[in-house]
Structure 1
Amino acid sequence: MKNFVFFIQYILFKILKSILMLFPEKSRFKFAEKLSVLSYKILKSRRITTLLNLKLVFPEKSLEELEKIAIESYKTIGKAFIGTLWLDKYVNKEGNFKLANPEMIEALEKNQPFASANMHFGNMEGLLKIGEKFNIVTVGKTQNNPYVNNEIVKNRECFNITLLQRSRSTSRDLIKYAKENRNIAILTDQKGSGTDVVFFGEPTIAPTGITSIACKFDRPLYLIYCIYEKDFSTLAFIKEVKKCEDETLSFKEKVQITTQNTINEIEKVIKEYPEQWMWMHDRWTFYRQYKKGTLRKDLTEFAKLIK
């Protein structure tokens, strides 16, 4: 029965894709923006989570100002999701994909194999265009619907990347590919098992997958991210992250410092382009604390203003 439901969902997915592809690209993106704004208004738990996170980072801003950023962020998420439906056509279309600092491509070529930290930010899928040139190994979240998941995987794998589906063996697989001198890229900005860091002044946990590989295999570490421009094109950035190389420290300590350095760079990017980051994730568990009645007073008072 479950497979039948998934299959029906997949058929509806294919029908929606076929209908959308009848319209110009800009119209598809505008449709995604409108749908995302609607979800922002309907899903109150996500709305509260988003605004609490934004209040942490921008305490000086009013609720109205934060809501403007939140809505733009949801539009970005919608564009990133719907863009997977014609990903290969999008990034290969002239003018749709540009590099802000093309000289850094030469640095990547020279410093292979490298490690790349990525973010839930802007056009995440646009990063695959860079991966195409370097045959990067990366990790993708498995969708609940296996038919839809296969469709998304197929769209991503056309970019000459090696895509691992997240599983219990993912860490072992990444180490295996790292030993084979492959370039590795992993999303690094969301909460997961890892090491203690301070993110926008708040203690939290950050994953150490990519920083561990950078330190263990003595690789250069880069932060690579993309933003959506107003004309729906993608602008990509490549920044080198300072790695801890103090040989008097343990491996664990070096990974922790390198992870904190990565988080510091991510902070700068988010502050510059706040409308491009996915604020809806309960990154600092504020929403869970809010529901339990354990959220700190300033954020609790702010949450009362959210309708």
Structure 2
Amino acid sequence: MLRTLLRARALLRDALKPASEAVIGAAVVGLLKTTRYFDPARTASAFSRITRGIGPWLPEQRIGRANLKAAFPEKSDAEIETILSDVWDNLGRVAAEFAHLDKVWDFDPARPGAGRIELAPGTQTIFEQLRDDGKGALIFAAHLANWELPALAAPAYGMPSAVLFRRPNIAAADRAIQDMRAVNMGEMVATAADAPLRLAHALEAGVHVGMLVDQHFGRGVDVTFFGRRTKANPLLARLARQVEVPIHGVRIIRLPGDRFRAELSEEIPPARDGAGRIDIAATTQAVTSVIEGWVREHPEQWLWLHRRWR
């Protein structure tokens, strides 16, 4: 009897799934379109108040609290809760800003202090070198501040680029999100079986390949992150072994007044084994260590709400 009831529940769930996904997808599309009609800064503030209020009631709050306590055992409970509140604030702002991706990146090299975007010292020089050297490059980023923004910089100034991304599970939301991103993000490469081959070909053609590399990847290599063992995606290191190109990190820092600072790192030399080949595990660790440094500097701007350690 119990087995029959469980089977019936599973069949009902599967039958209702397409309808529920259609409703959610339509809601996402409607929200994105509606948000574009409102002022970006005011909308970001409104969304941040909503996520600050709702976030503590969601299961992700417990995940974030556990992650922060493990990463920062020296911090008090009050400090942890303050960081968590700011994490939800940042997430709400990212959601609102996504609807205005075609307007957020407004850096003008002729007027560097006039817009919402500023560049960290040395970043423009590194960017120009990457743009003009005739080679591809591997650019990694993390879920810090607004992690969609790094992909906007390259196309804005004539740098050929490709960005690896993970499709949302809901088809209608996927289409809406890709329409937003396609405006000015260069070539979008979905995570699929052919993605490594497509990215390798892009690198060989002088394209700059960007990817987020800071989340747990069950089939990845072992790395240490905040003193704890976890898994990280080795794709970037594998691509570097296959097509030797420079490796750089890019991060966005959220500033007061709805502004951002973009920072490109100096070239990060890959680790090599005794035969001189790029060591995939050690290079992945080197990248992970850079990201840890970024997160330590601005923990309130990183997405602590996923299970990074398992």
Settle same-fold status: TM greater than 0.5. yes
Which band: TM-score by shorter chain? Answer: 0.7 to 0.9
Structure 2 CA distance for partners of 1:103 and 1:6, relative to 1, 3 Å: same
Tell me how far apart the structure 2 counterparts of residues 4 and 213 of structure 1 sit (CA, whole Å): 40
Tell me how far apart the structure 2 counterparts of residues 107 and 277 of structure 1 sit (CA, whole Å): 29
- Partner of 2:105, secondary structure, is helix
Give the residue type in structure 2 aligned to 1:174: L
Q: Which deviations, in whole Å up to 9, do the C-alpha atoms of 1:93-112 show, x marking residues without a partner? A: 86122211322212322443
Give the residue type in structure 2 aligned to 1:213: L
Structure 2 CA distance for partners of 1:250 and 1:190, relative to 1, 3 Å: farther
- In the alignment, is the contact (CA less than 8 A) between 1:225 and 1:237 conserved in 2? yes
**Alpha-carbon deviation of 1:276?**
0.9
Q: Which deviations, in whole Å up to 9, do the C-alpha atoms of 1:80-131 show, x marking residues without a partner? A: 2221112102223861222113222123224431111111111111112223
Structure 2 CA distance for partners of 1:64 and 1:241, relative to 1, 3 Å: farther
- Tell me which of 153, 161, 173 is aligned to 1:130: 153
1:24 aligns with 2:39: yes
* 74-83 or 4-13, which deviates more: 4-13
Query: Which residue of 2 is the match for residue 89 of structure 1?
Result: 103
Q: Which deviations, in whole Å up to 9, do the C-alpha atoms of 1:165-197 show, x marking residues without a partner? A: 222322232223233332111111111122211
**Alpha-carbon deviation of 1:5?**
4.2
TM-score (norm 1): 0.84
**Alpha-carbon deviation of 1:3?**
5.0
- In the alignment, is the contact (CA less than 8 A) between 2:136 and 2:205 conserved in 1? no
**Alpha-carbon deviation of 1:14?**
4.2
Q: Which deviations, in whole Å up to 9, do the C-alpha atoms of 1:194-234 show, x marking residues without a partner? A: 22111111111111111222233121100111122121122
Query: Which residue of 1 is the match for residue 118 of structure 2?
Result: 98
Give the residue type in structure 2 aligned to 1:103: T
Tell me how far apart the structure 2 counterparts of residues 136 and 54 of structure 1 sit (CA, whole Å): 34
Q: After the TM superposition, which residues 184-199 of structure 1 pair with which residues of structure 2 at under 5 Å, given as runs?
A: 184-192=209-217, 193-199=219-225
Q: Which deviations, in whole Å up to 9, do the C-alpha atoms of 1:129-157 show, x marking residues without a partner? A: 22313221111121122222112111111
- Tell me which of 194, 216, 224 is aligned to 2:250: 224
Give the residue type in structure 2 aligned to 1:120: H
Q: After the TM superposition, which residues 136-147 of structure 1 pair with which residues of structure 2 at under 5 Å, given as runs?
A: 136-147=161-172
Query: Which residue of 1 is the match for residue 51 of structure 2?
Result: 36
**Alpha-carbon deviation of 1:17?**
3.7
- In the alignment, is the contact (CA less than 8 A) between 1:215 and 1:243 conserved in 2? no
1:80 aligns with 2:94: yes
- Tell me which of 108, 119, 125 is aligned to 2:142: 119
**Alpha-carbon deviation of 1:284?**
0.6
Tell me how far apart the structure 1 counterparts of residues 39 and 233 of structure 2 sit (CA, whole Å): 39
Tell me how far apart the structure 2 counterparts of residues 243 and 74 of structure 1 sit (CA, whole Å): 35
Give the residue type in structure 1 aligned to 2:270: C
Structure 1, unpaired ranges of 5+: 286-307
1:61 aligns with 2:75: yes
Give the residue type in structure 1 aligned to 2:195: T
Give the residue type in structure 1 aligned to 2:131: E
Tell me how far apart the structure 1 counterparts of residues 271 and 31 of structure 2 sit (CA, whole Å): 51
- In the alignment, is the contact (CA less than 8 A) between 2:119 and 2:262 conserved in 1? yes
Q: How many residues align?
A: 283
- In the alignment, is the contact (CA less than 8 A) between 1:97 and 1:126 conserved in 2? no
Percent identical among aligned pairs is 22
**Alpha-carbon deviation of 1:20?**
3.2
- In the alignment, is the contact (CA less than 8 A) between 1:135 and 1:160 conserved in 2? no
Tell me how far apart the structure 2 counterparts of residues 250 and 195 of structure 1 sit (CA, whole Å): 20
- Partner of 1:279, secondary structure, is coil
Structure 2 CA distance for partners of 1:249 and 1:195, relative to 1, 3 Å: farther
- Tell me which of 208, 221, 226 is aligned to 2:234: 208
- Tell me which of 176, 181, 185 is aligned to 2:201: 176
Tell me how far apart the structure 2 counterparts of residues 190 and 250 of structure 1 sit (CA, whole Å): 28
TM-score (norm 2): 0.83
- In the alignment, is the contact (CA less than 8 A) between 1:241 and 1:262 conserved in 2? no
Tell me how far apart the structure 2 counterparts of residues 216 and 168 of structure 1 sit (CA, whole Å): 17
Tell me how far apart the structure 2 counterparts of residues 53 and 154 of structure 1 sit (CA, whole Å): 34
Structure 2, unpaired ranges of 5+: 1-15, 108-113
Tell me how far apart the structure 2 counterparts of residues 217 and 51 of structure 1 sit (CA, whole Å): 40
* 242-251 or 170-179, which deviates more: 242-251
